[in-house]
Amino acid sequence: MEDMLRELEQKIETEGATKASLRQFWKLADRAKMKKQISQDDLDRIVRLRDTLFGKFYPPFLTLRQGLALTAVATLVGAVLIWYGLQSDQLLLFLTGSAFLMVGTHPWGHWMAGKSVGVNFEYFYLDGPAKFEPCLKIDYKNYLKASFNSRMIVHASGALVTVLTAVTLLLVALTTGGLWMRSIALAIFIVVVITEIVSWAGIASGDLKRVRREVILKKHKKSFN
């Protein structure tokens, strides 16, 4: 791992933060996760590299408190819009409220899971398919010290909350909405399920792809050491 660390440090020093360096870092991080013990010096170097690369491509958007407050408001606004949409049979209100609700609840799933297993977060940044979704940046030193199971819980929590939100929207629409409202809710549910399946398969980036990575690393850790 020392060779990988030194090579990446030199590469960033000469070329700066690049996408290739970021991909190389993830390989280094996987190697670090499989080691029985990481020295404090190596851990500090890994975290510095990660912060340099991550800060280049995913700069801070909001502080942790600001982000949690914003997503809580988004969740509340989404619930209100959905209610009004169902009451007035306004498809646009229902669809907008659904988007607010899913974007707002997702980070809270990660944050609450992290609190339960001792994994912390630092700030919010923007990412997602349209690059506008507020996401949580993990405290990487804290994250690397966590167990494989803890990391799986943190990653899986976002996907679980998103699926549960889609299920809730579908049930609400089926019980109180009209035909078009039900159709939209069903479409949202199908898109969410397909997205999570694709993520788990490793075809596209996502929470379940990260869970799958941890499962694979845990399986091979004994043979690595």
**pLDDT tens digits, residue range 56-87?**
888 999 999 999 999 999 999 999 999 999 99
State whether 193 and 100 are in the same domain.
yes
Strands (E), the chain: 62-63, 121-127, 133-138
Please check whether residues 92 and 122 belong to one and the same domain: yes
Q: Do 132 and 75 share a domain, yes or no? A: yes
- Tell whether 122 and 40 lie within a shared domain: no
Whole-angstrom distance, CA of residue 185 vs CA of residue 66: 30
Query: Using CA atoms, how far apart are residues 18 and 22, in angstroms rounded to an integer?
Result: 6
Tens of pLDDT, residue by residue, the chain (225 residues): 788 888 999 989 898 889 889 889 999 999 888 887 888 998 999 999 999 998 888 899 999 999 999 999 999 999 999 999 999 989 999 999 999 999 999 999 999 999 999 999 999 999 866 567 899 999 999 999 999 999 999 999 999 999 999 999 999 999 988 899 999 999 999 999 999 999 999 888 899 999 999 999 988 775 555
User: Same structural domain for residues 98 and 202?
Assistant: yes
CA distances from 102 to 37, 105, 107 (A): 38, 5, 9
State the pLDDT at residue 38. Answer: 84
Q: Buried b / exposed e across 144-177, counting CB within 10 Å, b at 16+? A: bebebebbbbbbbbbbbbbeebbebbbebbeeeb
Number of domains in the chain: 2
The pLDDT of residue 4 is 87
- Classify the phi-psi angles of 5: left when phi > 0, otherwise alpha if psi is within -120 to 50, otherwise beta: alpha
Q: What is the extent of the structural domain holding 44? A: 1-57
- From the list 197, 157, 26, 166, the residue with the least C-alpha distance to 102 is 166
For residue 71, give every residue at least 6 positions away whose Cβ sits within 8 Å of its Cβ, in sequence order, or none: 103, 104, 105, 106, 107, 108, 134
Q: Model confidence over 146-167: pLDDT tens digits?
A: 999 999 999 999 999 999 999 9
Q: State the CB neighbour count (10 A cutoff) for residue 87.
A: 10
